[in-house]
Structure 1
Amino acid sequence: FPAMASDSGDGHATLKRCLGVLRDARNDSEQFAALLLVTKAVRAGEVDAKTRRQIFDAIGFTFPTRLLISGQPPPGCPPHTFRALGLTLLACFCTDPELAGHSQVLNKIPTFNEVLLSPCGPDSTSMVDDVYQCLSAVLATARGPRELVAKGTVSALCQAYLSGGHGSDRALTLLLGLLAVAEARCWQRDAPQLLAVLSRLSDDFLKAEDMTKFELCEVLPHFIPLAAPLTRDSQGSECLHRLYKGLADILGSKLSQSQRDPALKLAAGLVQACGAEWIPAGSAGSKFLALLVNLACVEVRLTLEEPDPVELEGKKEVVTACYVLMEMGILECLREENPLLDEVQKMQLMRIMEEAFGAVIFYLRQVKQEDLQDPFIFASVRVLGAWMAEETSSLKQEICELLPFLVHYARKLFKEGSPAVSLPQAELGSTEGPALPQDALRFLLPGFCHLTAEDRPRAILVSQGAPALLCEYFLHQWEVLSSEPMAAGPLTSTEMSLQTLCGIFLNLVVTAPDLVRQDKTFSSLLDVLLKSLPLLLPQEHHLVLAANVATLGLMLARILTGSAALQGTQSAKEFFGATLRFLLQAHTAQADPGSDSLAVAVSPAYRSAWDDIQELWFLGMQALAGCIPLFPWLPSAVLQARWLEGLSELLSRVSPASLDFELITAFQGVLVALARASEPCRDVILAHHGTEWANLYGMAALEQCLAKQ
């Protein structure tokens, strides 16, 4: 080999000869000597992709694997010689993406971790560098991130970073990369270690008084987990407090744009993860929150009121962060329990936010058709939806003018299942991850619900074909809900959307009955409602949605009397059967603490939801009374359900004083309708002392009806 070594002037020729020796080596010594020269060339960076592949073809994975597990090095060599050689070769192979994802590299991950965790002397820095190169390459492969998390690399990187040894900055970079693609899994498996890194970073952030502070603003958001709320334990809460104080220092100072933007993004990241919980109560906290929302609004106005296309492109990320802060501002201005803001601050912020939302509307009115896939437009529509959901009196004219665009945009995304990827934006008050990007409608529904109650916006929505779109969306969301396990748990966005849709349709039924008669959309909707209620009702945790579906179904039935689905079909009978159960089971007799008699009360199963369904229940009773004369088969369905017997039993057991006027009116409306429409129903009421309790409860119309022969 001396001849080869002296030939180092022509590195390429040397390598070629070494590769020949590697291929034809008769024993380990020859192969080892050739390898030393190859690795020397590799380390000197003299190897191109083609040659790297030739090295791999000559060696394969077997020899590096043997080197990694070999014990004693040759006499006179440093103790890590074999391992260092093996790692250099693997680092060389890993520059080929195909090889980096090979199982023979992935199964070396524990070895890589071990090197990171071993004390690093001056003679082992190159090993650490090689390991980082291997890990970076593995991270970039399809299977890599999952394997790295599963094999403990997150913990090793955290420890490597915290130890501050050779290459610890690369450990941080790799952690950022892993968190970017597998945040939930990382936190699930290695929360304590990640929290320790966040603790160090937040400490550095608070103490730094130079540019490091702003650099950390860029790094920190990656370490704030959406998956594992930091407010749950004391260490997380301490980190949050340090971040709050650090941000308060920054935002309270005079800043250049390049300094302010990362700070706003960090604040938005914290809001996404923890809402406003990281901002302490009290005067300092409320001033900070007001400042934060104020700065966000200023940024939005500056960027969107006179949008320069080139400048806007670079600002989209920070404006999206500002949207998150504005959304928090809306929530905080509405918060009544333990509010962070006082009334004066709330008024001021609402005024400032109104101006910012004016800028958002102005921007959306300029949007070109070909730009609709831009995630920034999605973020802008979403934040406007949050404003429309809560604040209906301001910017009404501007919102009305924008409605055609909003309907068109929501329809386009929904129909196309758009690939627009949502920019990170807070799911405030939600327990779920971000909605499907194409689901702009989900964020517009609450606003549409308010607007359909008013003449002008309702007319615009109808003229833009919103009812048909909303019906289609209802069908889609119902399918999603039906496919989810119907287990009790926090309200899903799907169920919330369905409830809001029912609210929109109820508005249309009440305010635009002619539209309901003429638009075939509503017949399709009725078909779905008839079939869905019987599935919903046995489940208490779907009671609010069931109340919406029952009431909307009854209201639609009153208008669409000629619909084929209502002519005594099985689905109609099942729907009305379920509705009757829902209406009757809402009340029960229970002991009245103040007397010996029983009092009427909301049933235990309905109690927690009663605030949400009380109005729907009364509306449903009214609508049922309206349906009875319209469907000749309905009274016999009522008899079959033994509804009259159930109601009679309730009324005969409770003290009349425990029924308020509204409840008596609701019961009387249905009873009178039944007595008028059906002789058998009238007979059942009479047989159950109907005349007596009609008199007792002051149901004059029922008394009169029963008295007629």
Structure 2
Amino acid sequence: MGTSDAKLDQCLAVLAGPTDEHKFAGLLMVTKHLADADATTLQAVRARVLATTGVVFFLRLLHTKGSDDEALSPYRALALNLISSFCGDATLANEFAKASVVADTLEALQLGVAAANVTVVTDCHHVLQGLYLHTSSGRELLIENGLVPAVVQAMAQCCAVQPLSDAHEVILQHLVDLVRSIHDLWKALSSPDFNALLHCFGAIESRSLAKCHLQELLLRAPDERWLDAPLADVVSGLFGAWPEHGHASTQRRDTSLALIERLFSTVGGAWLVPTPDAAGDLVVLVVQLAAIEAKLLLDDAERAWIDVRVNDSAVEVIDAADDRLTRMVPICYGILEAIVSMLAGSRPDIVDASLLSGPVLAQLQDALGEVFTVVLQFLTTARDFVATFPTSLALDMVVYASVRVFGAWLAEESDFCQADVLQLLPFLLQYQPSLVTDASPLQNDDDDDELDSDDEAPPTPLLTDPLHFLLPGLLSLSADETVANVILDDDAVLQRVLQFGVSVCANAESPGVVTLCLGVSMNLLLLGSPSFTAKARFQKTLPVYMKLAQLTGQRCMTSRVYDDDATSLLLHLLNYCLLVLLGASTTSSDKAFRATLEWAQAHAPPIECDASYDLHALLLHLAARYT
């Protein structure tokens, strides 16, 4: 150890010499001496070197110009290399937080990119990143000198010639990584600079790893950045060239799908069909990508959380599968749900379905049918598993997401795999993930007390009750006599449906949700054959719905303009109450309810409001039987 210290002292003695030649020689000697040193030793020696030479030497070296035909002098290149090692040390970086260092390094960055000099750009990256991360004064100087615009300009310069050379590929990786390290990037990034990033993303024609990193960066952009962004560049980037290994890389696939889902949620999907005569092939491609990934993910989920518990010979999946599955399954489902809503006409912001050709629509329908068959199979497997084994949070989350997207599909395709759906329906309707609090006025089988709006409100769930997602599809399904009787004959399922409806009223949900609940219950009463027990379950809900009918009636009576939503809700409430009362062969002595009923009979909706007009006709028929 003494010999080693003596050798280092000798190197530092040369370094302390009076001339630049001494300093160059000393630096070379120190570098050779520390070739195999560990990080702790290097940190200590760097401090001694800087104390020996002083900062001024490196600043002077960084500012030394070469001949006129040199883009960047060897002295400046050497200075950058040396300073980069100091700036990587949090204890020394502040010594170089000076305006001249920032200005010279930013200038060198542009020169390095222009000359495709990987070494210079690498050193500039480390200097700038060290100053930004380790020094507050350096960060302020970088912001004042336009760090972000300078790096974006360098990226644009790098991407100007395609395909990228090997050197420019490495340089672009450094530039993207530098931008990603800037904490307040989105505050400092102007709209033109953001558009320049998108242009770079779309311009890259080579199989670039830097492009993968750039996509990860774009995924972090705030929503408002996308509102006026040139999305044609995003299309070129998403569906352009990718590294060959990137197609097998879950990280690259994940960020591509996440970016698509993000764009759907912020700006819709018109960017997939940029012109009215566009064929819609990109829409099909997006659905196919999301569908394929969803099927792979569900297969992984089954192997990770079900097979390993029930099959001793099952192949274990990679570690950290839970994180990826719970993150990516909802993203894929988000894309699929958006397309389903688009086809139903409820999400014209995605794509106007009328712009798509017949063959494109057929391809979409086929792809969706295939993936939802897999979703149905996964839910069936999950049902069988949780009947025997305790579930896990990760499995619960994926099942929850699957129920949501499957509900959206059933709302549009109620005849999908009817036999299999009918068998799964009790599980779907009763399913509650572990994060949702199960508390409802109807949960006690032995409690015959009437339910009214004065009952204690259920606690707020941490997740939306999954029955919310199933309601539109359940409304269509329950219009079938077989389905209606399946629900009526299963007391637990019927309680769940009625319990949900009452809780919706107690929580003051939107009229549309209440109307859906009432529509399902009316289908059960109109088309099914309820038992005595089932009729008793319906009767217990009357106080809640009769009181809501009175309140809704007062609103309609006092409104100066016709409100079809309120009228529809009132007619649903009155029809439901009449159906329950008729089934019980009894009448209500509630004068307020009778007054509301009489007013509704006398005030028919406009004939152009088809649904409400039909409900009023049903009301007149039921009221005639009731009185």
TM-score by length of structure 1 reads 0.52
Output the CA distance in 2 between the equivalents of 1:41 and 1:312. 46
Q: Name the residue aligned to 1:158.
A: 152
Q: 1:615 aligns with which of 547, 556, 568?
A: 568
Q: Name the residue aligned to 1:359.
A: 374
Q: 1:266 aligns with which of 256, 260, 264?
A: 256
Per-residue CA shift, 1:300-340, capped at 9, x if unaligned? 55775796656976896887765454334313322375523
Q: CA deviation at 1:270?
A: 3.1
8 Å CA contact retained: 2:284, 2:364: yes
Output the CA distance in 1 between the equivalents of 2:178 and 2:379. 34
* CA pair 180-285 structure 1, distance change in 2 beyond 3 A: farther
Output the CA distance in 1 between the equivalents of 2:594 and 2:96. 68
* CA pair 657-93 structure 1, distance change in 2 beyond 3 A: closer
Q: 2:590 aligns with which of 621, 627, 630?
A: 630
Q: CA deviation at 1:20?
A: 11
Number of residue pairs matched?
513
Q: CA deviation at 1:356?
A: 1.5
Q: CA deviation at 1:370?
A: 5.1
Output the CA distance in 1 between the equivalents of 2:95 and 2:367. 56
8 Å CA contact retained: 2:8, 2:33: no
Per-residue CA shift, 1:78-109, capped at 9, x if unaligned? 76599648733433414xxxx69x9x599779
Matched, 1:201 2:197: no
Tell which has more relative contact order, 1 or 2 (C-alpha 8 A, sep 6+).
2
Output the CA distance in 1 between the equivalents of 2:415 and 2:492. 17
Q: CA deviation at 1:162?
A: 2.4
- Report SS of the residue matched to 2:435: helix
Q: Name the residue aligned to 2:560.
A: 587
Per-residue CA shift, 1:685-705, capped at 9, x if unaligned? xxxxxxxxxxxxxxx9xxxxx
Q: Name the residue aligned to 1:446.
A: 469
- Report SS of the residue matched to 1:232: coil
Q: CA deviation at 1:445?
A: 1.5
8 Å CA contact retained: 1:320, 1:379: yes
Mapping for residues 277-356 of structure 1, pairs under 5 Å: 277-280=270-273, 281=275, 284-294=278-288, 296-297=290-291, 300-301=294-295, 304=298, 322-335=332-345, 337=352, 339-343=354-358, 345-347=360-362, 349-356=364-371
Q: CA deviation at 1:357?
A: 0.8
Output the CA distance in 1 between the equivalents of 2:276 and 2:571. 43
Q: 1:373 aligns with which of 394, 417, 438?
A: 394
8 Å CA contact retained: 2:263, 2:269: no
Q: CA deviation at 1:353?
A: 1.6
Give the aligned residue type for 1:159. Q
Output the CA distance in 2 between the equivalents of 1:558 and 1:86. 77
Q: Name the residue aligned to 1:190.
A: 190
Q: CA deviation at 1:133?
A: 3.1
Give the aligned residue type for 1:615. S
Output the CA distance in 2 between the equivalents of 1:390 and 1:162. 46
Matched, 1:223 2:235: no
Mapping for residues 26-37 of structure 1, pairs under 5 Å: 37=27
Give the aligned residue type for 2:193. Q
Output the CA distance in 1 between the equivalents of 2:493 and 2:5. 75
Mapping for residues 85-104 of structure 1, pairs under 5 Å: 87-94=83-90, 104=94
Q: 1:412 aligns with which of 427, 434, 443?
A: 434
TM-score by length of structure 2 reads 0.58
Q: CA deviation at 1:359?
A: 0.7
- Report SS of the residue matched to 2:354: coil
Give the aligned residue type for 2:474. L
Give the aligned residue type for 2:374. A
Q: 1:41 aligns with which of 11, 15, 31?
A: 31
Output the CA distance in 2 between the equivalents of 1:283 and 1:633. 56
Mapping for residues 220-619 of structure 1, pairs under 5 Å: 220=215, 222-223=217-218, 225=221, 227-228=223-224, 230=226, 232=228, 236-240=230-234, 242-243=236-237, 246=240, 258=248, 266=256, 269-274=259-264, 275-280=268-273, 281=275, 284-294=278-288, 296-297=290-291, 300-301=294-295, 304=298, 322-335=332-345, 337=352, 339-343=354-358, 345-347=360-362, 349-367=364-382, 369=390, 371-373=392-394, 379-399=401-421, 401-402=423-424, 410-415=432-437, 441=464, 445-451=468-474, 454=478, 455=484, 456-457=486-487, 459=490, 462=493, 465=496, 501-503=513-515, 505-507=517-519, 514-515=536-537, 518=540, 555=545, 557=547, 576=551, 582-588=555-561, 602=562, 610=563, 612-619=565-572
8 Å CA contact retained: 2:152, 2:197: yes
* CA pair 256-269 structure 1, distance change in 2 beyond 3 A: closer
Output the CA distance in 2 between the equivalents of 1:450 and 1:311. 36
8 Å CA contact retained: 1:389, 1:444: no
Q: CA deviation at 1:202?
A: 1.0
